[in-house]
Structure 1
Amino acid sequence: MSEFKDRIIMVTGASDGIGQQVAAALGEAGANVIALGRNEEGLQQTMERIEDSGGRCLCVPFDLLDFDNYGKLFLSLKDQIPHLDGLVHCAGSIDRCTPMQYVKSKDFRKMLDIHLTAPNMLTQIMLPLLKRAPAASIVFTSCDMIKEDQANWHAYGLAKRALAYAASMWQMESPDKPYRFNTLNPGRVRTALFKRTFGGEHPKMVPASSSVVPAYLYLLSDASKEQRGQSLHAADLLKD
């Protein structure tokens, strides 16, 4: 029996890309998935994949940039579910890479909000449900800029690099708690974001988004309970 059976795990960005793959895998493993995303058609596909595998999915069309509705989201869930065993932050977006000298302020702020403000504020608002679980796991999704300096990624790169510090800070503020926070860099995988930002690189030259799912499942599992406040790369976890 899968250890994920009957666990309740929220996944953002679940309508496409890595988020959809993680949500589908969790559903197949027996978890009750709360799938958040802006694309309702994509969420419907996610739900169908989960239900076809015998899993259960609650789809929640939600714009993570609508911070005023975070409280409503929590209130809608707190009486429906006993707790949250996991929270996976996969939501992300970028239209194009732009040098810092040309990026517009509205685009700069949007990248900071979706990739840094949103995952931290959603974690904050869901913390009461995470605290109710025996040992919850929160996973932030970073990228190569976590350790590499790369030009033209403006606030996207800044936000992703800051996530490592965010996970560490969350963990330092909860040193003796059973819940844990980690940051995972999936590396380059075939997603819509990859196609927009690496247009000159053939998609077949990078692995499918499903290839990094085992790394996410590891961080959500009891096997990773000693990983706390760490910044990890999927390739390193998948080598073992």
Structure 2
Amino acid sequence: MNDYQAPADLLKGKVILITGAGDGIGAQAARTYAKHGATCILLGRTVSKLEAVYDDIVNAENVGSAGNAEPAPEPAIVPLDIKGATPSHYQQMTQTIIDQFGKLDGVLHNASVLGHLSSFKDIEQQEWLDVMQTNVNGTVFLTQALIPALEKADNASVIFTTSSVGRKGRAFWGTYAVSKFATEGVMQTLADEYQNKSLRFNCINPGGTRTNMRAQAFPAENPDTLKTPADIMPMYLYLMGNDSIDVNGQSLDCQPKR
């Protein structure tokens, strides 16, 4: 799966929502999904970053299934800060998606915040609440709201972003680690509820990747030793396309040896 070779038209006709689409892995996933034919809905809190990804997509030429160059589908921009959004915001957005596109074929839950690395006893209450609001609560309420749109697709895929510290706790990573343990639990619960249905749920652990969050966590690390977001896209393509139609309830690693 990490060396998966996606067909050029893997996502043709699909509508995919990406959170945290303005930077890092989310931005690269949006560009990659669009390159393979998807209409991408770019959700993020910084309009200028979303507009830059939008421009990258509309100015790129994709290779169609017949080998000819064709423009990527025009993406949509949704400026929204998950930290401050409410279930009502998500429900209104879902209705707009249904009205405009008729369905939703996939969601990549990429948006997360790290918080500060500290001893558990020193975690500040507000930081705990802020991290949980973005990484857990917002993800849950957004997923709840989107399910009616996802159920309108023939086969839909929801990908959550996890971490190795969300499987085995690590000292000083308390807030972020607990949020990712919760993410794994949300995915597993949904996957079991929707088993043998047209909607599947999985997690991706990107591993150490050249992103701003990684630099925040490991400021002394040489970023040139890390894979780029583009390097890990095969797994993101595999789980979003129909080749993974029978994969449900799995937590997969982009870099299993790291």
Report the TM-score, using the length of structure 1 for normalisation. 0.94
The CA deviation string for residues 61-85 of structure 1, in whole angstroms up to 9 with x for no partner, is 1111212422222232221111011
Could you list the runs of 5+ residues in structure 2 that have no partner in the other structure? 1-7, 61-70
1:202 aligns with 2:222: yes
1:148 matched to 2:168:
yes
- Code of the residue aligned with 1:191 in structure 2: it is T
Aligned residues: 237
Partner residue in 1 for 2:5 = none
What is the CA–CA distance in structure 2 between the aligned matches of 1:111 and 1:46, rounded to whole Å?
A: 25
Distance in 1 between residues matched to 2:168 and 2:100, nearest whole Å: 42
For 2:255 and 2:127, the matched residues in 1 are separated by: 31
Q: CA deviation at 1:95?
A: 4.2
Amino acid in the other structure paired with 2:45: R
Amino acid at match of 1:136: A
Matches within 5 A, 1:76-95: 76-95=96-115
Greater Cα offset, 174-183 or 135-144:
174-183
Q: Any runs of at least 4 consecutive aligned residues in structure 1 with deviations exceeding 3 A, and if so which?
A: none
User: Deviation of residue 122 (structure 1)?
Assistant: 0.9
CA contact (8 A) 1:147 1:161 kept: yes
Partner of 2:77: 59
What percent identity do the matched residue pairs reach? 29
Verify: 1:47 aligned to 2:54, yes or no: yes
SS at match of 1:180: strand
Of 17-26 and 50-59, more deviation after overlay is shown by: 50-59
Query: What CA deviation, in whole Å up to 9, does each residue of 1:31-61 have, x standing for no partner?
Result: 1000100111110111011111222210111
Structure 1: 5+ residue stretches without partners: none
Contact 1:108–1:154 (CA under 8 A) maintained in structure 2: no
* Partner SS state of residue 218, structure 1: helix
Aligned mate of 2:250, from 223, 230, 238: 230
- What is the Cα deviation at residue 87 of structure 1? 0.4
Q: Is the 8 A contact 1:95 1:196 kept in 2?
A: no
Question: Is the counterpart of residue 185 in structure 1 residue 192 in structure 2?
Answer: no
SS at match of 2:135: helix
> Which amino acid is 1:14 matched to?
A
